[in-house]
Amino acid sequence: MKLDEVERAMRAGEYGAAAKVALEHQIKVGEFFGAAEFVAVTQAHVMADTESLGEAGVRWLESLAALDGRPLRLRVPTITDPRGTDFAKASVLRQPAWAVELERRAVQAFARLGVLLTDTCINYQTIQAPARGESVAFGDTGVVIYSNSVCGARSNFEGGPSAIAAGITGRTPRYGFHLDAQRRATLRFRVDWSPRTLNDWGALGGLVGRLAGNYWSVPVIEGLAGVPGSDALKHFGAAMASFGSSAMFHLVGVTPEATRLEDTGGDKLPVAHRIGEADVRALQAAYANEEDVDVVVFSAPQLSLYELRELAALCDGRRLAKPLLAVTSPQVKPDADRLGLTARIESAGGHVLSGMCFYQSYAREIAEANGWKRLATNSVKLVNILGGYGYVPLLASMERCVEAAEKGRLLR
């Protein structure tokens, strides 16, 4: 890779030991992908729950924070994805004490590194959405796909160590979705039905992701009626990224780089797949093979204020028989408290949690501690993940999930 003067100085250690470690890591990744140079970034977003880091990752964070013997000065604002717990609700989840302690150590290390602990996977709704053309170093696949596709910003999937490196150096290797050529459509979809619920949007995103197949594939989708809102696109993108490892999509007439099909290069592609309502219903039906429910979870991505508003209305007048967990960001939670939404959900028997995500919060351990197996959710991303954690995930709309929490079973 071609290095500029600052990068050469970083590599030589003139900006400190941590900057040297960070740049060396980035060069190895950049060279693997044939990056010619670095690109400056304006923000970094770090995925770093301790279930992923483990003891080894937390020790690495602690050692990085201590490497230069003084507080690090991150070159760009660097924020965090959800943590592995909501410290105020760890006992409700029955998380193991060692896990909560590991989270505390990670929080302390991040604070020493100068990272802003925003603990959110919806930073494009709550912190600062990147602008079109802005290069960023974001972690969390849902954040990246939304930023690339809906905002027109530029990011690869940056795992925790790489996002921290970008925060330290203020740059990232220029490859993948930082390049114009990688942002062109590679696979053309025609849809003849438009989703209604967030769960439908997630299911459509999951189908597209499954067919798209890998990170380098960029689906362009035509045929949707109307313009979906931010929450719909959030579920659509998060599910697509989860099923397909996809990092970008184009919706013709909706997303900023796809005003017309030909803007994406999609007019030169044959229609590879047609998706209708029956396909979406089939994906949903694949996760609806049980009726009894142990727990209901709304998470992945964290809920917006509008989703909590809808959930509060659904909880009004009900007495929930099964645990219902609604997970939001630390930016939304105070508003939900202040506006009475939290009280409405919790007076029905639910819990509003903040700053975590269900599957990043020791899902296997809390399943065992609480006897949870059959989990109902409206999140297509969550059902895709939880099978590997030993759950039987059930997929339904938010309304049917709340009903399931009340009756103890998911009604068909």
Partner 1 sequence: MIFTARHALGGKVKGTALVAHDGFSARYDLDRIKGIFSRPSHKLTGQSYVGKILVLDTSKGGVASAWMLHEMASRGVVPLALVFNSVNPILVQGAVFGNVTMLAGFEGDITALVPNGATVEIDAGKRSLRVL
Sites for partner 1 among residues 231-250 (CB under 8 A) = 241-242, 244-245, 247
Query: Is there binding between residue 56 and partner 1 (CB under 8 A)?
Result: yes
Burial of 285 (0-12, 13-18, 19+ CB in 10 A): exposed
Distance set, CA 179 to CA 116, 135, 151, 174 (Å): 28, 10, 16, 7
Nearer to partner 1, 241 or 315 (CB): 241
DSSP string, 349-398: T-EEEESB-GGGS-HHHHHHHHT--EEEES-HHHHHHHGGGT-EEEE--H
Nearer to partner 1, 159 or 253 (CB): 159
CB of 315 to partner 1, least distance (A): 30
Among the listed residues 372, 373, 376, the one whose alpha carbon sits nearest the alpha carbon of residue 397: 376
| DSSP E strand stretches across 244-305 | 250-251, 271-275, 295-303
Query: Is there binding between residue 193 and partner 1 (CB under 8 A)?
Result: no
Q: Residue-wise over 204-220: b if at least 16 C-beta within 10 A, else e?
A: bbbbbbbbbeebebbbb
Cβ atoms of residues 305 and 335 within 8 Å: yes
Cβ atoms of residues 22 and 30 within 8 Å: no
Return the residue of 22, 48, 261, 367 that touches partner 1, per CB under 8 A.
48
CB of 304 to partner 1, least distance (A): 20
What's the rounded Cα separation, in Å, for the pair 88 and 309? Answer: 22
Query: Is there binding between residue 141 and partner 1 (CB under 8 A)?
Result: yes
CB of 58 to partner 1, least distance (A): 10
Helix, strand, coil share of the chain (percent; to 5): 50, 15, 35
Return the residue of 4, 40, 54, 282 that touches partner 1, per CB under 8 A.
54
Return the residue of 158, 222, 307, 403 that touches partner 1, per CB under 8 A.
158
Query: Is there binding between residue 149 and partner 1 (CB under 8 A)?
Result: no
Query: Is there binding between residue 53 and partner 1 (CB under 8 A)?
Result: yes
CB of 311 to partner 1, least distance (A): 25
DSSP string, 73-87: --SS-EEE--BS--G
Query: Is there binding between residue 373 and partner 1 (CB under 8 A)?
Result: no
Contact string (CB under 8 A) for partner 1, positions 308-337, x = contact: ------------------------------
Binding part of the chain for partner 1, among 96-104, 154-162, 259-267, 393-401 by CB under 8 A, reads 154-162
Sites of contact with partner 1 (CB under 8 A): 25, 28-29, 32-34, 47-49, 51-57, 60, 139-141, 156-162, 175-176, 213-216, 241-242, 244-245, 247, 359-360, 384-385, 387-388, 390
